[in-house]
Chains A and B, each alone.
With several copies, the nearest count.
Chain A
């Protein structure tokens, strides 16, 4: 499946059609060639599966000193990464599930986020922490979490959640070059999705959200994979005569709220669809910021995210746990046309190619 071609980047629309996973891998290779201090480590980055292919070829090109697995010791390995970063290296630490970052919270929040500040500006921590969000095929309670809001809560961290192959390359390059710790969120189901990706290195930096598709009736902010699902919802809504503007914030911290406020002021309706829980989530933050800024504009708001339960593996329950293009479209329809009869798109038509093609276990 091809996501909408991003309009930003040095050569918009140019480049080859590349998969998300290959674009990511290309970013590593290019940055490692450019800068000796970049290294990629973490469980299984150097095995034959190469983290679903995202580190393919790196061991061969850069050797075991710069591409290596570790013991199962997420807490200490995070500390090692932070220490190496303080000492001038640029580590990229990889976790195959974002859930495992819960083992690293002390190092990430108590040290990485605070080091520059609490050491009076005398050090920096140019660290990238990659993790993948799992979804479907019974990933279940502990292999499915998207915990970005925990990191957005803490000053000193940056957080990014690219939704397409173009951005994942540009964001990774920007993250590696950034002198701050960056929590880099990938989504497992986005790995096979394709977009046009320029060959040369480029950065997709913090500070600019992207209006992925224009619309008049409602502003829809999608986070990570939800951008793709919101685009599908937009198509379905169009058939029902509702025009939705879809925005991809790309970087969640720092967040480009201006683009969202501007759109929401115009449409008077804001929906944030997140691949995560809503309580104290990114969606709460976006809604709160927009309304603090534009409180008098009479903007109606709504958050969509995980249901407020743990993620269950049974397919029946899993289907209800996650938002999808159908539920997003129905929610927006109810908001835009409160007096109409409730409308839900044909469930068959809400399925996304990038999901149906996924087969487990990983």
Chain B
């Protein structure tokens, strides 16, 4: 893995912004992992630790009018798009002030104000939903685009093929982002994919398709920037496949290299290339210190909020079944 920066030298401002987001998500998820054994979070959590750079790189080029479509492994994209962190943690705690009022949990984060489309726990399901938002954007002339995140496993669901065809046919402003971490739960890609030619396949629908293998947040950002520019110009959908690696177990707070289905050796290059310290090294120590302190405070505040804010009333059960 090399940092093939396809994007020229990023400005200090960009590095700072990206570092802030990367660090924020990392610290937040580490805190989730730390708290989890207390059973305060009674919700299956799927951590993005190590994969944050995909969400951060893509969302940095989005605007408030744009949307992201997230998965059950959606903490990173939720935060990167500007979702309310306190509401997110409260949601994991099952509280009334949670972003879904305690009705979603970690797998169904949502923040309509920030443009975060709700996540789904049924893999692949949210892909066509994203295209529906893009269709609405076009009809309403908002100029907005939709970034649609999904995993390598999700790419096997027929609804991806159906959605790619429809989005290309209708020239919808959707940026498809496959976070290819090589596993679906414990099953490696080789047991699920006949070949690795996903990008090539997406391109046959007539959309630009790029495979980012560098693990470099700036390359992701550059690709996304280029894609979004083209999409706002009416160019139709773009496909990005981004190689990444899930450091923790599929669901839950721990590592699982002792389980035998993958070896720690796979992890090592990703740790060496971890974008969080990499970007820290590109900044003044004082800036890093300030950001780190800010981030720690923000995360602590979110958890403090979640701890204090009340549970729903049992009678709330009956709300929101119908609009």
Contacts and interface: CB of A to CB of B under 8 A. Distances in A.
B118 A119 contact: yes
A122 B317 contact: no
Interface in B21-47: 39, 42-45
B312 A140 contact: no
Contacts of B71: none
Contact of A71 (B94, B166, B185): B166
A360 B129 contact: no
B320 A120 contact: yes
Given A43-B187, A120-B102, A314-B95, A83 B135 contact: yes
Interface stretch (A17-25, A160-168, A228-236, A302-310): A302-310
Contacts of B169: 71
Interface string B81-118: 00000000000001100111111111110101000011
Interface string B133-177: 111110110000000000001101111001101100100000000
B122 A106 contact: yes
Contacts of A78: 128
A116 B320 CA distance: 6
A76 B159 contact: yes
B323 interface: yes
Given A122-B112, A317-B316, A362-B44, A111 B129 contact: yes
A120 B100 contact: yes
Interface string A116-155: 1111111111100000000001111111000000000001
A48 B91 CA distance: 31
The 6 closest A-B pairs by CB, nearest first: A83-B132, A79-B128, A314-B102, A361-B44, A314-B94, A120-B101
B118 to A, nearest CB: 4
A85 interface: yes
Given A75-B158, A79-B127, A360-B42, A317 B120 contact: no
A70 interface: yes
Interface residues of B, number: 79
Contact of B317 (A77, A86, A309): A309
Contacts of A362: 44, 251
A71 B192 contact: yes
A314 B186 contact: no
6 contacts: A48-B261, A72-B184, A73-B165, A74-B157, A88-B136, A89-B140
A87 B142 CA distance: 11
A131 B112 CA distance: 31
Contacts of A71: 153, 156, 162, 165-166, 169, 192-193
Interface of B: 39, 42-45, 67, 94-95, 98-108, 110, 112, 117-118, 120-137, 139-140, 153-154, 156-159, 162-163, 165-166, 169, 184-187, 191-193, 251-252, 259-261, 311-323
A79 B131 contact: yes
Nearest to A44: B185
Nearest to A158: B322
A262 interface: no
A6 interface: no
A83 B131 contact: yes
A321 B162 CA distance: 36
A119 B132 contact: no
A77 B166 contact: yes
A138 B94 contact: yes
A358 B186 CA distance: 23
A125 B192 CA distance: 26
